[in-house]
Every structure is written in structure tokens, then in C-alpha cells.
Amino acid sequence: MKKMMCGAVAWLAMAFGLNAAEMKMAVTTSFHNSGLSEVLLPAIKRDLGLEVHLLIVGTGQALRLGAAGDVDAILVHSRKAEEAFLAEGNGTYRREIMYNDFVFVGPGSDQAGIRGAANAVQALRQIAGVKAPFVSRGDDSGTHKKELSLWLEAGLQADGFDSWYRAVGAGMGTALNTAAAMDAYVMSDRASWLNFGNKRGLELLYAGDPVLFNQYAYIPVNPDKHGHVKHDMAIALEGWLVSDTAKELINGYQINGEGLFVFNAQPR
């Protein structure tokens, strides 16, 4: 009994195992939900011997984490917010890595008829026109910001909408769960949608407008502002992310036979 107690205490006292070569990167929920990280991280570990710990948050929080120096790099998709982040001296520069696209998902009955919409903005106008239930992320994430900018382009004010517009203030998965439960329309990144396990009556209704393309960029946190960040590792990781190995893995990644990401990093 006593021995067991001693053993238990020793087990608790052991440092929670951490590796020497490791860094923290904040990524968006949409990136993680795609499953691509499960392909890239083992390859990064193999090639660089680097353990990348992912913090899966919305773009808004990812940028906050970077600004506070709580992570070493961020991988996000909201250009305007990224530029503001750089302007405040929080990161060194942004490097475009790849893009995927957003899709409109909704009930199979498609009461707003967006299946045949001419473009993304038109689709939103139709949804607003019939006041079909629409779930918004409402969490200041890249996806949310994109959605708001599309409503603006459609000449509509999202904060003036009635109860048909439901901001859930949560990640993509939760938003999709909510939409599935309420037979609502929702804008999702394609990867989250394809990987989502609880589709119920939801179907992919509209996609393909170039305005829906979603550019991911990598930003190392500024080591001049935060001396403790692992800048060398952040640079090593960037080198890997723009390499041919990464290109093959990213372009070759598929779910149900569909490609998700297009690698578009420019060599410098």
C-alpha cells in the first residue's frame, strides 16, 4: 500500500514529458478540421526533427496569441487582419502557403434556391430575401470575417438581421452541428464540410466563385518584440512549408477523392 502510494506520487511528480525541439503554432479550426495537419506534422517531425504543437483556435484568437508572444508562429487566413497584425509589429512578414475554398451548405430542400445562383453574393441575397435560417460563426474567425465581407458586398448589414440569422459564436464544427439541427444555411470551408460527420439533411449547395477562395498565410512571431519565441524553429518550419515535399503533400491531400488545398507559395 505504502509502496503504491509512493509510486503514484513519483508518477505525478515526474515532469510532464516535453521534447527539446518543439514549437507552438496557432492554426485555425478550419485548417485542423481538414485533417491536413495529420499528414504534415509527422512529415515535419521526420524531416526537421521538430515537434509542432498546434493550438486550434479561430483566426481572431490566433492573432491575439501571436501578439502576446504565447506562440512562435501562426497559420491563418484573413488577409486584412494579418496585415494589421504585421503593422503592429507582432510578426516579421506573411508568407502565402496555400489556399482552399469556402462553400455554402444548406438543407437539401434549398428554399432560397441558391443552387443556381450566379455568384456567392447573389446566393446570400437570396437567403436574406426569403429569410431562410442562416448560421454564422460569429466568433471573429477568418471564416466569420469572410462571411461578413460577403454580406457587405451584397449590400446588407449582418448586424441588422432578424432572428433568422443566428451567430453561434463557436468553431466550424459547432456551427455545422447547429445548422444540421436547424436545417439552416451555413458558410463553411470545404475541408470542414467534407470531414464533418453529422451531415443529416445538409448538402453542399453552392461553391466555385473565386471570391470564395481562402488564402492561408504563415507568419512567424516577431522575435524583436518577444525575445523568448523560437524564431529559428519558426524559420525552419517556414522553409519546410514552402518546400517541394510540402507542395506534394498539400496538393495530393484528398478527402473522398476530392483535392482540398492548392499550394501557391512563391519562392523568394
Partner 1 sequence: MGELWEGMRQAVWLVVTLDPDLVEISLRSLRVTLSALLIASMIALPLAAVLTVQRFRFRRLTVATLNALMGLPPVVVGLIVYIILSRGGPLGVLGLLFTPWAMVIAQVVIIVPLIASVAHQSLRELWSEYHDLLISLSTTKRQRIAALLWDGRRALLTAALAGFGRAIGEVGAIMIVGGNIEHVTRVLTTAIVLETGKGDFALALALGFILIAMAIVINFAIHNLSRTETEGRW
Site residues, partner 1 (CB under 8 A): 1, 8-9, 11-12, 16, 18, 24, 29, 33, 53-57, 68-70, 170-174, 176-177, 180, 195-199, 226, 228
Burial of 241 (0-12, 13-18, 19+ CB in 10 A): buried
Q: How far is the CB of 11 from partner 1 (least distance, A)?
A: 7
Find out whether 185 and 179 touch, Cβ atoms under 8 Å.
yes
Closer to partner 1 by Cβ: residue 176 or 260: 176
Q: How far is the CB of 159 from partner 1 (least distance, A)?
A: 25
Beta strands in 29-177 (DSSP E): 51-57, 73-76, 95-107, 134-136, 165-167
Q: How far is the CB of 268 from partner 1 (least distance, A)?
A: 29
Find out whether 112 and 132 touch, Cβ atoms under 8 Å.
yes
Q: How far is the CB of 248 from partner 1 (least distance, A)?
A: 24
Reference 50, options 18, 20, 71; nearest CA is 20
Closer to partner 1 by Cβ: residue 248 or 258: 258
Closer to partner 1 by Cβ: residue 23 or 98: 23
Closer to partner 1 by Cβ: residue 197 or 210: 197
Closer to partner 1 by Cβ: residue 62 or 127: 62
Burial of 245 (0-12, 13-18, 19+ CB in 10 A): middle
Q: How far is the CB of 13 from partner 1 (least distance, A)?
A: 8
Give the DSSP per-residue string, 218-268. Answer: EEEB-TTT-TTS-HHHHHHHHHHHTSHHHHHHHHH-EETTEE--EE-PPP-
Taking CB atoms within 8 Å and a gap of at least 24, the contacts of 147-150 are: 147/187, 150/120, 150/121, 150/124, 150/187, 150/211
The strand pair at 22-28 and 202-206 is best described as unpaired
Closer to partner 1 by Cβ: residue 14 or 87: 14
- Give the separation between CA 214 and CA 216, rounded to whole angstroms: 7
Find out whether 130 and 64 touch, Cβ atoms under 8 Å.
no
Closer to partner 1 by Cβ: residue 2 or 268: 2
Q: How far is the CB of 243 from partner 1 (least distance, A)?
A: 23
Q: How far is the CB of 27 from partner 1 (least distance, A)?
A: 11
Closer to partner 1 by Cβ: residue 156 or 255: 255
Q: How far is the CB of 181 from partner 1 (least distance, A)?
A: 11
